[in-house]
Amino acid sequence: MAKIPKLTVPSKELLNDIDVFMFDCDGVIWKGHSVIEGVPYVLNKLRALGKRIFFITNNSTKSRNGYKKKFDSLGLDVSADEIFSSSFAAAIFLEQIKFKNSGKKAYVIGESGILEELELIDVPYLGGPDDRDKVLSMGPGDKLEYDKNVGAVIVGFDRHINYYKIQYAQLCINKNEGCHFIATNTDSVSPITDAQEWAGGGSMVGAIKGCTGKEPTVVGKPSPLIIDYLCDRLHLQRDRICM
């Protein structure tokens, strides 16, 4: 285990050496629909000291604009440019590999946040909430037809995951040559409400790993993708970031 020295005077030892603070959201800024006590004070204090603040969440159910609305509802003054969700991270990855130029589509196991981010980068998609009620017939000779032009399967938290989605995803990954398997995160549990922890996005990703035998490209934390993106785009110094 790494030996990390305990801060004795945080205002001197931490604040003087850090320019940028990056916060998780679920369980750090809020629990469920309630802001955690002390958070507004801390954020206001950091801004008053001239610190830059960013919010990074592995929850892919909302887009950046969707999270902006949540911050607003909690009375927290946060700009959309300060919010980075794993749904946005999936879009960043597709842009980095120039996926749009391939002319292919993405199949989504997930919710509206991923779809909204794909729309912003003009990547065509199918799946998501549209497949929530689909049921397969598995009698003699039955098979599921799938789109041969799917070049990426994106798996995020999905409250309506079902066997149809799992089968469709495995066919695309196993049968479509070069199809990318992208996971927004592999969190085992998530503090979705303030009452208990819930099975996280890793449970959805695990189902697809199990039927494909393949490891995904993980774009959410602890992947460095968002950190790299921010440092490159905003010229941040890595040794002056606290996350």
Do residues 204 and 42 lie in contact, with contact meaning Cβ atoms separated by under 8 Å?
no
Q: Give 16's pLDDT tier (boundaries 50, 70, 90).
A: confident
In the prediction, which pLDDT does 155 show? Answer: 98
How far out from the chain centre does Cα 63 lie? 9
Neighbouring residues of 200: CB distance < 8 A, sequence distance ≥ 6 = 58, 157, 185, 187, 188, 189, 190
What pLDDT band is residue 184 in, cutting at 50, 70 and 90? very high
Write down the pLDDT at residue 2.
46
Residue 6 has pLDDT above 90, yes or no: no
Mean pLDDT in residue range 174-194: 93
Where residue 15 falls among pLDDT bands split at 50, 70, 90?
confident
Window from 7-21, 36-50, 86-100 with minimum mean pLDDT: 7-21
Average pLDDT over residues 193-222: 94
Of the residues 19, 24, 131, 147, only one is catalytic, namely 19
Is residue 19 among the annotated active site residues? yes
Please say whether the beta carbons of 77 and 122 come within 8 A: no
Nearest-5° Cα angle at 212, 95 to 125: 35
Report pLDDT for 1: 40
Mean pLDDT for all residues in the chain: 92
Residues 6+ apart with CB under 8 A from 241: 18, 19, 20, 21, 22, 227
* pLDDT at res. 9: 59
Residue 240: φ, ψ to 5°: -120, 30
pTM of the model: 0.90
Query: What phi and psi values does residue 141 have, to the nearest 5 degrees?
Result: 80, -5
Residue 236, burial from CB neighbour count under 10 angstroms (0-12, 13-18, 19+) = middle
Q: 44-61 pLDDT, tens per residue?
A: 999 999 999 999 999 999
123 or 18, greater pLDDT:
123
Question: Nearest 5°: phi and psi at 81?
Answer: -70, -10
